[in-house]
Structure 1
């Protein structure tokens, strides 16, 4: 061990001001001790707006469980941008993310990613995962909310002959439905999977209604007896949560949800204020319902971010002065030097951030 450390010190002297890893990365871009990376191995266009990006991660990646997500970094115009994406590949396989071209970073990933590109990675996270013991399952998804559930289906259905899964997926049209052909093929091949698509345009613009059990009774009559997983837009998940809360004494315990956005308390927005980003020498007037993360990005500040919903804490930024309002609870707080989650806090008067 002492000899290895001595060799590393000698190598560092020879490569200063760069590190030995910087030269090694020229040969193998995944060989970095500073930042976990992955190389893109395949790019698949799923719909007109959605793309699946397969990648091979470097050493240090933890194998993902079906349904988990990971923070993904990409260089855009020389700036490293981070976002969180659900992993759509089956557990036990190299990971993949399925990205819809909405927003600056997701659009760049969906439109511009090529085989051989390098992604920056953090390890998989999240507890939206399959139950520990076999049981009948109901998967309720809408739009890109299918992504983590697809990982679950790809993991469970081909490997478990006793699998009993009903998937109800809502999309605008068949052309917009992610993984449509693959799901129909899996349902033909494996009797344990039932797939029900709900196309809103074919239903006269009517969305899948979860405010009462009528639609569910038609699509999955035994829905109350299944362990349910739901992922999709906030209003979709809010309706599902309320329905399960009123479905029986144990209904809520049978519903697991995954949100792509934080649950904000209605009416938490206040007057807002002038937000000053001191190191970036920029400032912007921000409303009391605008997350500080969004305010910073709007005026061109490179803001640290991850899940963008108050979970991963990657957006923590020191507060220099002022008060902020937690958009989930309405609580106004802030002390000098306090680390603020910018994705779920807004200005409550003038605010100065150390970034």
Structure 2
């Protein structure tokens, strides 16, 4: 799930290639999301006992253009095929590779497949990059990053990028973990802070009983900790990412202090959960056709449901008790991509599907509204 409580921090659209689709300095072709869709694993790194980083590049040399904080959607050969979206954790200033950092989730088919089977040389189909959760950490604006668990990944991409391009002006990065052994990128963040005076790092752990050398903050992240870490937190723009309960706690904590919530941005990724979350904003609006109701048939399950005016195919599926993979509900992430067997829909997508996939009869059910009786391969 990706939730953004305000418009993109940069106010910019995602980057796109120039007319010749080449970088000026190297003449290496740019990655074209409409045409390129295969990454090759080049390296696997163990970050913690249950977290790995997977490094990819294109089959042939390609330069990737993305904003730090964006993500890509991966098609994984699990249970036939599942799609999962993972944040790019690497620096946007290092354009020839894509890195994702994935925590093994008990029972999670996507993360377990990656941990068990992804290795150098193996290929995977992808789409993207996507997403609007980003900021320029090299500017003069005072920033505060707050993350927990694997929610560290978009913040890490932003931090790495800022350190690669120039020293962050005034950035404080607070990360919460269960134990010191669960702190992802701990050594690298400490090194970056030592090399960049404009970057400050603070860690807090829920428990540290087994780590007698731990001298950092211990216990649940709270306002007292934040005030000690960063007395001027109210003067900063805040970016938060982590499990939903953690982010809810941070939101409530900041509101209680009188923090200006117009300066608060958040994103959480729970792609592939059986019951998908939603954006705080309304989903992409589909044109409402007054008085018309259509039948939606799901060919795999045999369910048939009536779909009223303005209702998306995803909503119809849920009405039928089907819980398809979905996340953004704005046609951005591509998680809910499905085959339209027959009929017509109005699809108002946000870039999560390629034109050639549309030509093959695929749709994003989160932003597709029936224009006739339809059959969908679900």
Q: TM-score range by the shorter chain?
A: 0.5 to 0.7
Residue pair 1:64, 1:92 contacting (<8 A) in 2 also: no
CA distance in 1, matches of 2:46, 2:182: 12
Residue pair 1:173, 1:200 contacting (<8 A) in 2 also: yes
Residue pair 1:319, 1:340 contacting (<8 A) in 2 also: no
Q: Does structure 1 residue 101 correspond to structure 2 residue 104? A: yes
Cα deviation code 1:276-303 (max 9, x no counterpart): 97422567xxxxx9x859x757xxxxx6
CA distance in 2, matches of 1:108, 1:43: 13
CA distance in 2, matches of 1:234, 1:316: 24
CA distance in 2, matches of 1:308, 1:31: 24
Cα deviation code 1:131-168 (max 9, x no counterpart): 48432211100000001100111111243235221111
Distance 1:72 1:282, change over 3 A: same
How far apart are residue 206 of structure 1 and its match? 3.5
Q: Does structure 1 residue 222 correspond to structure 2 residue 242? A: no
Distance 1:205 1:111, change over 3 A: farther
| 66, 69, 72: which one aligns with 2:71 | 69
Query: Residue 38 of structure 2 aligns with which residue?
Result: 37
Cα deviation code 1:242-279 (max 9, x no counterpart): 3334544x7112211112242589xxxxxxxxxx9742
Query: Structure 2: any 5+ residue segments left out of the alignment?
Result: 1-30, 210-216, 271-276, 281-295, 304-314, 343-362, 368-373
Q: Does structure 1 residue 354 correspond to structure 2 residue 360? A: no
Cα deviation code 1:163-187 (max 9, x no counterpart): 2211111001111111111111112
Structure 1 length-normalised TM: 0.67
Misfit runs of 4+, over 4 Å: 30-35, 58-62, 316-320, 339-343
Distance 1:158 1:282, change over 3 A: same
Query: Residue 128 of structure 2 aligns with which residue?
Result: 123
CA distance in 1, matches of 2:144, 2:33: 41
SS, match of residue 77 in structure 2: strand
Query: Residue 114 of structure 1 aligns with which residue?
Result: 119
Residue pair 1:36, 1:61 contacting (<8 A) in 2 also: no
> Over alpha carbons, which structure has the higher Rg?
1
Structure 2 length-normalised TM: 0.63
Matches within 5 A, 1:86-97: 86-93=87-94, 94-97=97-100
| 154, 157, 162: which one aligns with 1:151 | 157
CA distance in 2, matches of 1:149, 1:165: 11
Query: Residue 49 of structure 1 aligns with which residue?
Result: 50
Query: Structure 1: any 5+ residue segments left out of the alignment?
Result: 1-29, 266-275, 284-288, 298-302, 321-338, 344-351
Higher RCO (C-alpha under 8 Å, 6+ residues apart): 2
Query: Residue 233 of structure 1 aligns with which residue?
Result: 243
Matches within 5 A, 1:207-218: 207-209=220-222, 213-218=223-228
| 300, 320, 323: which one aligns with 1:280 | 300
Distance 1:192 1:117, change over 3 A: same
Report the more deviating stretch, 127-136 or 189-198.
127-136
How far apart are residue 239 of structure 1 and its match? 2.4
CA distance in 1, matches of 2:193, 2:71: 25
Residues paired across the two proteins, number: 281
Residue pair 1:101, 1:111 contacting (<8 A) in 2 also: no
Distance 1:217 1:123, change over 3 A: same
